[in-house]
């Protein structure tokens, strides 16, 4: 013996995992028999375990592909359901239960499913065999089922009965062989009786002469002959059980042995006993596997060639596994983060924060200086407040203007620059991570994309409070005193001028836009009306709106506002040129002074943001990614990730297929070489 079956079973399981072509299947022994013929008893006595589900309502609804592996290193039988990832099961009642449930998952209305159950049993006592227990073959004839279901069952069974499979046709000795539906079905699939082994069970129930005639059946001669067995199930199946599995089968074997010994003479020249059946099955299977080697080699070579060609053309022979894809993804991401860190450093940070603070400065100045205080009855005192037009000519020590600037400055320094700046930068980083992810392969991986975003958020969150506090602490001195030198003043004057010019431009353009949409004349009419109305404020004269709609009036007010804002801005710009040359004039130049404060706040904040938040993020985030994606994911999660992308899935699966076919082919070649040497 070459132990060929064992090796072929290995090759078969490789080819099974490749899936696809049926031609890749190696021969199995397909067991058929009518209900109560003793089919289960035969299978169980081969295995030496009671494991098949019992019941009258057609408990076998899916083919069971049973692989027996002889493993002398094992102390006892173990079972596994590879598809369910259930391994090393030693409780065969549990196996029975799983099989029952797997069968019952097919509803009675569907009768059968062609999706097979894969069951592997390893034991030091079983022979290397691959068997198939077919669903209710015989029920086809017996049961009262609709024609479509019958033909469905028949189709499924016929496919298993095809070459190169061996048919194990089980008939009970106490039923006339002419009525054996197993033999009838076998004859249809194998008319010349070349691949069928007949098994006659329950020999103990007939007299020796009848038994003998059955075993030498002349009506339906089989090249591989008949084997007689007594597989009377062990007493453990009776109501008064519990003989342990192994003991029960020893009892069955002893009974069988004793029976054939006692009737030795009647069975001369015939093959009897479960032991002889096992031996025969091994021999027959090995021979038919050997016959399959050459055609299998051709089929596998062709499949491999086809897969390799596709692999080359579609994927340029580029090696890819789920793990590699994941590693590549992490590397690409790290690279993208590195590039981002080069693009987004201290200068960018500074620009971002400065522009945010510029906006705040403009808002504060607008609020405190440029907005004309609304003059109403209730707001009498504001009538006495000097208007901005008077600022230029106010005496240098006018406390009103001093207080105004102090308040505006305090509003800026006490704005919560720490939190504002930290949030601003964190948001900018997160937005960039989003953009970055959408520019990599990760865009089609929602699961990992979210994990990465979560990682970024968690890195930033851990630094958020301490960064905001540090920044806030460091700008604290500016809340009390701000020193100014000439150079800083000159720069801020320049910058403030630029900002005011931009603001003026926007005001003018917004005004022109309104003018364009309303028409110059109309706008004039409305604004004149509104100006008159303003002049009448406080008087109780009934006002007419001259037919202007509330919408038009609100636009008119907007136009007036813009016109006034533009006038003030132009005036302030002019004053910035003439009256703001020296820092000593700071109370008359709030735009310049506030700009200077914003600059100082920016400079200080940036120092800490850069070290505490940005540099720390660039250092920690890639490590966090490695931790989150590289190490804490299970192989299944990595595979799921890689295969989320259809193109990657196709690539990986084709590569796996190619590798498996390659492995199978080299194993087939090894076996062929060995066979040649021995022959």
Q: Which residues bind ligand GDP (CB under 6 A)?
A: 33, 35-41, 201-202, 204-205, 230-233
Which has the closest alpha carbon to 458: 491, 429, 436, 478? 429
**Which residues have C-beta within 8 Å of that of residue 385, sequence separation ≥ 6?**
373, 400
Q: How far is the CB of 38 from ligand GDP (least distance, A)?
A: 4
Write out the two tokens for 445: 């991986």
SS3 202: coil
CA–CA distance, 303 with 215 (Å, rounded to integer): 43
**Cβ nearer to ligand GDP, comparing 211 with 568:** 211
Tell me which residue has tokens 């620059």. Answer: 417
Write out the two tokens for 466: 């301490």
**Which residues have C-beta within 8 Å of that of residue 490, sequence separation ≥ 6?**
none
Cα 447 from chain centroid (whole Å): 6
Q: How far is the CB of 205 from ligand GDP (least distance, A)?
A: 5
Please count the residues of the chain: 679
Cα 21 from chain centroid (whole Å): 28
SS3 571: helix
The answer to whether residues 16 and 67 touch, using CB atoms and an 8 Å cutoff, is: no
Q: How far is the CB of 180 from ligand GDP (least distance, A)?
A: 12
CA–CA distance, 186 with 192 (Å, rounded to integer): 10
**Cβ nearer to ligand GDP, comparing 41 with 130:** 41
DSSP H stretches of helix in 316-416: 322-343, 346-365, 380-384, 399-413
SS3 31: strand
How many other CB atoms sit within 10 Å of the CB of residue 242? 9
Q: How far is the CB of 92 from ligand GDP (least distance, A)?
A: 16
- Residue 38 φ then ψ, to 5°: 105, 20
Write out the two tokens for 331: 């590397």
Q: How far is the CB of 669 from ligand GDP (least distance, A)?
A: 40
**Cβ nearer to ligand GDP, comparing 39 with 495:** 39
**Cβ nearer to ligand GDP, comparing 41 with 180:** 41
Q: How far is the CB of 280 from ligand GDP (least distance, A)?
A: 17
Q: How far is the CB of 125 from ligand GDP (least distance, A)?
A: 20
**Cβ nearer to ligand GDP, comparing 180 with 470:** 180
Q: How far is the CB of 171 from ligand GDP (least distance, A)?
A: 10
Interstrand relation of 166-172 and 196-201 (parallel, antiparallel or unpaired): parallel
Interstrand relation of 86-89 and 166-172 (parallel, antiparallel or unpaired): unpaired
Q: How far is the CB of 117 from ligand GDP (least distance, A)?
A: 16
Q: How far is the CB of 39 from ligand GDP (least distance, A)?
A: 3
**Cβ nearer to ligand GDP, comparing 202 with 565:** 202
Angle between helices 646-678 and 635-644 (to 10 degrees): 120
**Cβ nearer to ligand GDP, comparing 201 with 413:** 201
CA–CA distance, 40 with 132 (Å, rounded to integer): 12
**Cβ nearer to ligand GDP, comparing 233 with 579:** 233
DSSP H stretches of helix in 380-485: 380-384, 399-413, 417-438, 446-475
SS3 242: coil
**Cβ nearer to ligand GDP, comparing 12 with 39:** 39
CA–CA distance, 308 with 658 (Å, rounded to integer): 6
Q: How far is the CB of 33 from ligand GDP (least distance, A)?
A: 5
**Cβ nearer to ligand GDP, comparing 175 with 601:** 175
The answer to whether residues 330 and 626 touch, using CB atoms and an 8 Å cutoff, is: yes
**Which residues have C-beta within 8 Å of that of residue 165, sequence separation ≥ 6?**
27, 28, 29, 30, 132, 195
Q: How far is the CB of 152 from ligand GDP (least distance, A)?
A: 21
SS3 58: coil
Look up residue 240 and give its DSSP letter. T
- Residue 221 φ then ψ, to 5°: -70, 135
Q: How far is the CB of 249 from ligand GDP (least distance, A)?
A: 13
């Amino acid at each position: 013996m070459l132990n060929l079956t064992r090796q072929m079973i290995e090759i078969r399981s490789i080819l099974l995992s490749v899936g696809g072509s049926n031609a890749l299947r190696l021969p199995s022994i397909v067991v058929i028999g009518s209900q109560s013929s003793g089919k289960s008893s035969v299978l169980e006595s081969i295995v030496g375990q009671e494991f098949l589900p019992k019941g009258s309502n057609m408990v076998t609804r899916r083919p069971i592909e049973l692989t027996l592996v002889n493993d002398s290193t094992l102390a006892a039988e173990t079972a596994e359901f590879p598809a369910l990832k259930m391994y090393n099961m030693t409780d065969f009642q549990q196996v029975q239960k799983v099989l029952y449930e797997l069968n019952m998952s097919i509803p009675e209305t569907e009768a059968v499913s062609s999706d097979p159950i894969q069951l592997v049993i390893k034991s030091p006592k079983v022979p290397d065999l691959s068997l198939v227990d077919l669903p209710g073959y015989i029920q086809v004839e017996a049961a009262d089922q609709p024609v479509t279901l019958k033909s469905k069952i028949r189709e499924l069974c016929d496919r298993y009965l095809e070459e190169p499979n061996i048919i194990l046709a089980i008939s009970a000795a106490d039923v006339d062989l002419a009525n054996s539906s197993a033999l009838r079905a076998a004859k249809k699939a194998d008319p010349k009786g070349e691949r069928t082994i007949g098994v006659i069970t329950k020999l103990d129930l007939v007299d020796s002469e009848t038994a003998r005639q059955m075993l030498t059946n002349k009506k339906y001669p089989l090249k591989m002959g008949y084997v007689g067995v007594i597989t009377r199930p062990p007493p453990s199946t009776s109501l008064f059980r519990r003989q342990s599995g192994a003991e029960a089968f020893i009892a069955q074997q002893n009974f069988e042995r004793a029976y054939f010994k006692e009737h030795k003479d009647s069975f001369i020249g015939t093959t009897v006993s479960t032991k002889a059946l096992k031996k025969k099955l091994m021999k027959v299977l090995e021979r038919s596997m050997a016959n399959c080697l050459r055609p299998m080699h051709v089929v596998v070579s062709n499949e491999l060639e086809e897969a390799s060609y596709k692999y080359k053309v579609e994927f340029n022979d580029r090696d890819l596994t789920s793990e590699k894809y994941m590693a590549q993804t992490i590397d690409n991401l790290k690279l993208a983060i590195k590039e981002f860190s080069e693009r987004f450093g201290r200068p960018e940070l500074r620009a971002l924060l400065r522009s945010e603070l510029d906006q705040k400065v403009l808002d504060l100045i607008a609020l405190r200086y440029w907005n004309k205080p609304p003059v109403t009855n209730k707001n009498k005192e504001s009538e006495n407040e000097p208007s901005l037009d008077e600022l230029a000519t106010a005496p240098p020590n006018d406390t009103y203007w001093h207080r105004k600037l102090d308040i505006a400055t305090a509003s800026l320094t006490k704005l919560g620059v720490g939190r504002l700046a930290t949030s601003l930068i964190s948001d900018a980083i997160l937005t960039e991570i989003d953009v970055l992810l959408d520019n990599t392969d990760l865009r089609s991986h929602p699961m990992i994309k979210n994990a990465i975003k979560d990682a970024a958020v968690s890195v930033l969150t851990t630094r958020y409070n301490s960064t905001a506090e540090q920044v806030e602490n460091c700008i604290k001195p500016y809340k009390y005193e701000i020193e100014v030198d000439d150079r800083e003043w000159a720069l801020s004057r320049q910058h403030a001028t630029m900002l005011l010019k931009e603001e003026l431009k926007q005001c003018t353009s917004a005004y022109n836009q309104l003018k364009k949409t309303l028409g110059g004349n109309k706008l004039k009419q409305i604004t004149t009306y509104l100006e008159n109305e303003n002049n009448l404020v406080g008087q109780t004269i009934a006002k007419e709106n001259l037919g202007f709609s509330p919408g038009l009036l609100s636009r008119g007010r907007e136009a007036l506002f813009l016109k006034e804002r533009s006038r003030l801005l132009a005036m302030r710009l002019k004053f910035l040129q003439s009256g703001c040359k020296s820092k000593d004039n700071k109370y008359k130049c709030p735009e310049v002074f506030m700009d200077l404060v914003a600059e100082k706040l920016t400079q200080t904040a940036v120092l800490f943001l850069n070290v505490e938040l940005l540099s720390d993020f660039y250092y920690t985030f890639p490590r966090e990614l490695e931790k989150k994606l590289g190490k804490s994911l299970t192989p299944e999660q990595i595979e799921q990730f890689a295969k989320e992308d259809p193109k990657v899935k196709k690539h990986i699966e084709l590569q796996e297929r190619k590798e498996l076919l390659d492995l199978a082919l080299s194993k087939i070649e090894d076996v062929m070489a060995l066979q040649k040497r021995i022959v």
